[in-house]
Amino acid sequence: MDITSRYSDQVDIDESKVPAEFRHLVPLAKEWSISDDEELDAYIEAASPEKKQQLVDAFRPHFDALWQWHKRCEQLVPQPDELVLFDTAANAAATVHTLLEDDAET
């Protein structure tokens, strides 16, 4: 699958700028930092159920803390690349989480 909107492919990420509590998520954040909705939908569709669950299980416990990091940095212009990476990946994780919940209900 050709992904052209993966944020981590467009910038250099300095892991030292990522809060320590999230650094273990950097590889998943890089993989799932797809900003184009159509590309993200296709990537989600192609991902195995296990891969989708792995993303949700990794990110879900950190949603609140990631949001706090976002709020601490929201006045910065430009936004730090590391924050944008995690915002994009957290959005993907939230989307996948919703899809998995919907699938479980049907």
**Which residue ranges make up each domain of the chain?**
23-39+46-105
Q: For residue range 59-84, what is the model confidence (pLDDT) as tens digits?
A: 999 999 999 999 999 899 999 999 99
Does the pLDDT at position 14 exceed 80?
yes
Q: What is the pTM of this model?
A: 0.92
The shares of helix, strand and coil residues in the chain, as percent rounded to the nearest 5, are 75, 0, 25
Q: For residue range 88-105, what is the model confidence (pLDDT) as tens digits?
A: 999 999 999 999 988 777
Query: From residue 5, how far is each of 31, 40, 63, 93 by CA, in Å?
Result: 11, 9, 23, 16
Half-sphere exposure in the Cβ direction for 4 (13 Å, CA): 1
DSSP assigned state of 6: B
